[in-house]
Amino acid sequence: AQSVAQPEDQVNVAEGNPLTVKCTYSVSGNPYLFWYVQYPNRGLQFLLKYITGDNLVKGSYGFEAEFNKSQTSFHLKKPSALVSDSALYFCAVRGSNDYKLSFGAGTTVTVRA
């Protein structure tokens, strides 16, 4: 069985400060890892993914994530947060031989001006 844990329900940061959203996963075999962002009453927008290659993945809107196999983590980061980054963020995982995605519970990010 595969699963994702996002240990923080909420993350609050000041604009201009670094933003980190944590994610750990469990999956059989090689993981395919994803981050999505969701704004109110909207679908999921893809931010970035890790399939293979460099552990540091760069994505949309200045976000990046680092794959850490030993810690089974895939934390999302942004060096300087913007108020417009305030949204709900989901981490997701699937195995290389499975089509189904498993989502974390989501983390609400609030960036204050």
Angle among Cα 75, 79, 84 to the nearest 5 degrees reads 95
**Cα separation, 1 vs 52, whole angstroms:** 21
Which residue, 61 or 80, is less far from another protein as judged by CB? 61
Q: What is the closest distance, in whole angstroms, from the C-beta atom of residue 16 to another protein in the complex?
A: 27
Give the start-end residues of each E strand in the chain: 3-5, 10-14, 19-21, 24-26, 31-38, 44-50, 56-58, 64-68, 73-78, 87-95, 102-103, 107-112
Q: How far is the CB of 61 from another protein (least distance, A)?
A: 14
Q: How far is the CB of 13 from another protein (least distance, A)?
A: 19
Nearer to another protein by Cβ, of 51 and 79: the residue is 51
- Give contact residues for another protein (rule: CB under 8 A): 32, 36, 41-46, 49, 51, 88, 90, 99-101, 103-106, 108
Would you say 45 or 71 has its CB closer to another protein? 45
